[in-house]
């Protein structure tokens, strides 16, 4: 189904999950039920900054937009930061990350529906997407939704590729179509298993800069892994990201690793095949930074049909880590055949700009393919 927006002035409801993404850089792979643990590990909120980026783009493209927002950290703070004056629709009991709840999100969405918004713009991850979709379904309305990506895991196809893309789409869309909202079991995810579930289907703005649903699995990468192992350099520290392709490399290097985490391994010799030491398994950003040496390489593979190499599921490989690393991207030929470009969304525009452009991707023992990153 594709529908068309018909209103002279856009009315958009804004709701922010203030704890979205906090678990990423401290190695928790999600924040559901782990907010206190994340804070204890030194995690810092990131949803506010990503909300501000999206709202700044929204305001630039549509200065006359009418914004409604949940109170405080759940919306008003970010809207006010970009110089706009929202209509405040709710007053969440909590005033800091970790003090708000899914019910606060439901309450905000119900208030948006009562005021007949043209779009619910939410900031968070898949869990927030499910909360918003459930509230809209319960209200039995066709109001579209759009996500500003801020979570650790973003498996749904209702998000802009980047926060700036989401803001522009919210300001300029004129049609909507139905797209999927998926979520995973975070406890299983932390244990190395991906168990996805289709949770809802909702109208979403039509745009090229929406990410696809994440695809799981892939073809054989044995020769790629063997070629990589042959090329390791003694003394170099390798920051090995999540996923099945990099997982094959980890096995070729002689350790199982964490399938959905980031492992740090240092090569010590190559005379009789690769040898080295696993410095940190399932590392957080801080642990990676502490383990880095003089020569470092971050090894990542694009995520399924989305094509992200940074910014989805590997937040631990942060801009601070990338500043000290060379980057090697690996992927099966079949995976690259599905992608027009590779994507990045580290949350730091300077880092994203530095990494953008044409790059070589290892696709076999010796073979490489040129792909564009944007």
Give per-residue pLDDT as tens, 220-243. 578 899 889 989 999 999 999 998
Give the tens place of pLDDT for each residue, 8-37: 689 999 999 988 766 555 444 555 555 455
Tell me, yes or no, if the pTM score tops 0.75: no
The proportion of the chain whose per-residue pLDDT surpasses 90, expressed as a percent, equals 59
218 — pLDDT class (breaks 50, 70, 90): very low
Pairwise CA distance, residues 329 & 129, whole Å: 30
* Phi, psi dihedrals of residue 327, rounded to the nearest 5°: -120, 130
Structure tokens at 330: 């690996």
Q: Return the higher-pLDDT residue of 220 and 80.
A: 80
User: Which two tokens mark 17?
Assistant: 């999950």
User: Buried b / exposed e across 128-153, counting CB within 10 Å, b at 16+?
Assistant: bbbbbbbbbeeeeeebbbbbbbbbbb
Q: 297-307 pLDDT, tens per residue?
A: 999 999 766 79
How far, in Å, CA of 9 to CA of 241, rounded? 44
As a whole number of angstroms, the distance between CA 37 and CA 237 comes to 28
* Residues forming beta bridges with residue 198, ordered by sequence position: 182
- In DSSP terms, which residues pair with 239 in a beta bridge? 264, 298
pLDDT digits (tens, 9 = 90+) for 138-178: 999 999 999 999 876 677 889 998 999 999 999 999 999 99
Instruction: Give mean pLDDT, residues 40-57.
Output: 81
- Kindly state the helix (H) or strand (E) to which residue 265 belongs, with its residue range: strand 263-269
Contact 302, 45 (CB under 8 A): no
Backbone angles phi, psi at 213, to 5 degrees: -65, 140
pLDDT tens digits along 317-362: 999 999 999 999 999 888 888 888 999 999 899 999 999 998 989 9
Confidence band of 195 (pLDDT split at 50, 70, 90): low
- The β-bridge relationship of strands 308-310 and 275-280 is unpaired
pLDDT of residue 61: 96
């Amino acid at each position: 189904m594709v529908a068309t927006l018909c209103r002279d002035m856009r009315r958009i409801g804004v709701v922010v999950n203030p704890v979205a993404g906090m678990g990423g850089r401290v190695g928790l792979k999600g924040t559901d039920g782990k907010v206190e643990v994340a804070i204890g590990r030194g995690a810092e909120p990131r949803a506010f900054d990503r909300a501000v980026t999206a709202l700044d783009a929204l305001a630039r493209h549509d200065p006359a937009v009418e914004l409604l927002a949940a109170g405080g950290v759940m919306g008003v703070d970010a809207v006010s930061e970009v110089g706009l004056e929202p209509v405040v629709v709710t007053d969440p009991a909590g005033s800091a990350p970790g003090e708000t709840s899914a019910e606060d999100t439901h309450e905000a969405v119900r208030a948006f529906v009562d005021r007949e918004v043209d779009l619910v713009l939410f900031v968070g991850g898949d869990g927030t997407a499910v909360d918003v979709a459930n509230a809209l379904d319960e209200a039995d309305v066709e109001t579209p939704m759009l996500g500003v990506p801020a979570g650790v895991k973003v498996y749904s196809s209702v998000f802009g590729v980047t926060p700036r893309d989401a803001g522009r789409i919210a300001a300029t869309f004129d049609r909507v179509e139905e797209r999927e909202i998926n979520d995973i079991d975070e406890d299983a995810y932390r244990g190395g298993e991906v168990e996805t579930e289709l949770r809802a289907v909702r109208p979403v703005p039509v745009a090229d800069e929406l990410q696809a649903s994440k695809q799981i699995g892939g073809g054989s990468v044995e020769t790629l892994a063997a070629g990589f192992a042959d090329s390791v350099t003694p003394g170099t520290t390798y920051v090995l990201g999540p996923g099945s392709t990099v997982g094959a490399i980890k096995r070729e290097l002689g350790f199982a690793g964490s399938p959905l985490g980031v492992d740090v391994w240092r090569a010590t010799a190559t005379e009789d095949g690769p040898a080295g030491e696993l410095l940190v398994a399932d590392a957080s950003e801080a642990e990676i930074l502490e383990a880095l040496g003089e020569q470092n390489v971050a090894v990542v593979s694009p995520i399924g049909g989305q094509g992200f190499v940074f910014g989805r599921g590997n937040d631990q490989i942060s801009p601070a880590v990338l500043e000290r690393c060379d980057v090697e991207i690996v992927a099966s030929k079949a995976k690259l055949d599905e992608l027009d470009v590779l994507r990045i969304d580290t949350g730091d525009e300077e880092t994203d700009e530095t990494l953008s452009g044409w790059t070589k991707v290892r696709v076999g023992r010796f073979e490489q393919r040129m792909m564009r990153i944007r």
